[in-house]
Amino acid sequence: MATNAPRQPKRIIRTGPLLAGFALAQMRPLHRFLPDRVRYQLPLSWTPHMLRTFLGSRRSRVFIDVHTRLRGPASYAPRVATDEAWAMSEGEIRGFWDRGYAGPYTLLPPDEMRALAPRMWELWDKPSSTYPRGSFRYVGTSHSGEGAGEMSNEEYATRGLNARDKHLEDPTLVDLYGHPAIVERVAQLLGPDLLLWRTQFFPKYPGMGGTGWHQATSYLNETMRVATLSPPHLDELFQLTVWIAVTDSTIENGCLRVIPGTHRELLPMRVEEYDPVRHAENKSDRFGTKIMRPADGIRDEDAVNLVMKAGEFVIFSERVMHGALPNITKDDARLGMSGRYIVPDVRIHNPWVLGDGGLTIAYLRIHQLRLDRWRALLVRGEDRARVNGDRVLRYRPGMVVNP
């Protein structure tokens, strides 16, 4: 019989399996007897604080990344010496540690980036040779999005995945991410040795909603069990993201925004599955196939809108609460792209993901993504740690890894 009762939010985590898995995850001496496919299904990256927060809030508050507090630096002096053109002052570096971001800086003059923009739009839409169709499964709902410019969950997920790591496929793009204007500034914050481990395009078409507030540090949100990045010390700064404006990025067309100071601690979120009917009025909280909102303590009026000209970029820690405004224009599509840089002693992915298991991306509802063609690039210094083995290639100008 038909009913007009509102649809209830779908839980993203089931309590019973989480509790059983957490208990087994603590029994580490037993893990060597478990098959990999079992071990990597355990919530290995969850902490007791994360579990207590989830259970104590009646499952309404969940950490989408490993809870941690960021330890400050011993000094605000640049970590490397570099050309004067890219040099950062101690004041700039102190400002980064206070706010969680630095910039904008200039990568290319606006006219040069605008000339490259058609190629970047083409790359965003071009089928990926790094993650081709057939190398993953989409397992979420397929209902269509509602409202001009909105994508269905399936389109959002598959196009979002298709936007990843195109720097491995195009010589012009890889040289933008390897440009000293970016790399030398990141090195002054992270140190002399740098890997580029992921890139992504972020389009915002006219009528599209914003991007919900979120934080990240080790990318637990991909599997919600085992973090993608495993640094020696989670409370230290080991990764930075660079967000590049391919087109002018304005308040009207959906610029990036941050809440300064929130990088000091990872905060819990309220998360549910995105539904185009139930969430028609708040689609700007959308993140992938989910609706996400900070559980408490965040005010939109504290946000800084990072307006940028084409060719400018900002450096930020993804620990800072960040998102994007909706595109309220009629004809001004905005394109941004990001690169994520880490120090080489950070292990990327885990053996199960890199082997036969494939990567699960929980917030996109993507399962068993093959990573055979994924590589990290050494864009500066040396990879002395070698924790990622032959998955690391040395960057060369104009290189193409996956033609």
Higher pLDDT, 282 or 297: 297
Question: Residue 162 pLDDT more than 60?
Answer: yes
Whether residue 16 is contained in a domain is answered as no
Whether residue 3 is contained in a domain is answered as no
Site of tokens 């389009």:
203
Q: Which domain range does residue 210 map to?
A: 45-394
- 169-221: pLDDT as tens digits: 999 999 999 999 999 999 999 999 999 999 999 999 999 888 889 999 999 98
CA dist 15 to 56, 139, 224, 292, 298, Å? 12, 21, 13, 19, 27
Question: Residue 98 pLDDT more than 60?
Answer: yes
CA dist 121 to 87, 160, 163, Å? 31, 14, 10
The residues with which 305 forms a beta bridge, in sequence order, are 257
- Number of residues written out for the chain: 403
Q: Which two three-digit tokens encode residue 7?
A: 């649809």
Do residues 265 and 332 touch, judged by C-beta distance below 8 A? Answer: no
What is the rounded distance in angstroms from the CA atom of residue 339 to the CA atom of residue 334?
17
What is the rounded distance in angstroms from the CA atom of residue 136 to the CA atom of residue 350?
17
Percent of the chain residues past pLDDT 90, beyond the cut: 74
The residues with which 243 forms a beta bridge, in sequence order, are 314, 338
Whether residue 68 is contained in a domain is answered as yes
The residues with which 257 forms a beta bridge, in sequence order, are 305, 323
Q: How is the beta sheet containing 239-245 ordered, strand by strand?
A: 101-106, 312-316, 239-245, 334-342, 194-204, 376-380, 392-394
Q: What's the pLDDT band for 2 if we cut at 50, 70, 90? A: very low
Whether residue 240 is contained in a domain is answered as yes
> Which DSSP category does 162 fall into?
H
What is the rounded distance in angstroms from the CA atom of residue 89 to the CA atom of residue 79?
11
**Taking CA 340 as the corner, what is the angle to CA 228 and CA 190, rounded to the nearest 5 degrees?**
100
Q: What's the pLDDT band for 140 if we cut at 50, 70, 90? A: confident
Whether residue 33 is contained in a domain is answered as no
Tell me the one-letter amino acid at 301: E
User: Can you give the CATH number for the domain in which 337 is found?
Assistant: 2.60.120.620
What is the rounded distance in angstroms from the CA atom of residue 175 to the CA atom of residue 171?
6
Do residues 320 and 217 touch, judged by C-beta distance below 8 A? Answer: no
- 252-269: pLDDT as tens digits: 999 999 999 999 999 999
Whether residue 314 is contained in a domain is answered as yes
**Nearest CA among 309, 339, 360, 324 for reference residue 136:** 360
Give the pLDDT of residue 155: 86
Question: Residue 278 pLDDT more than 70?
Answer: no
Give the pLDDT of residue 3: 43
The per-residue DSSP string of 58-86 comes to TT--B-SS---BPPPPS--S-SS---TTT
Do residues 96 and 297 touch, judged by C-beta distance below 8 A? Answer: no
Do residues 199 and 166 touch, judged by C-beta distance below 8 A? Answer: yes
Q: What's the pLDDT band for 132 if we cut at 50, 70, 90? A: very high
Whether residue 330 is contained in a domain is answered as yes
How many domains does one find in the chain?
1
Q: Is the preceding omega at residue 104 within 30 degrees of 0, hence cis?
A: yes
Tell me the one-letter amino acid at 72: G
**Nearest CA among 170, 184, 171, 300 for reference residue 242:** 184
> How many other C-beta atoms lie within 10 A of the C-beta of residue 188?
23
Give the pLDDT of residue 149: 55
Whether residue 37 is contained in a domain is answered as no
Give the pLDDT of residue 71: 96
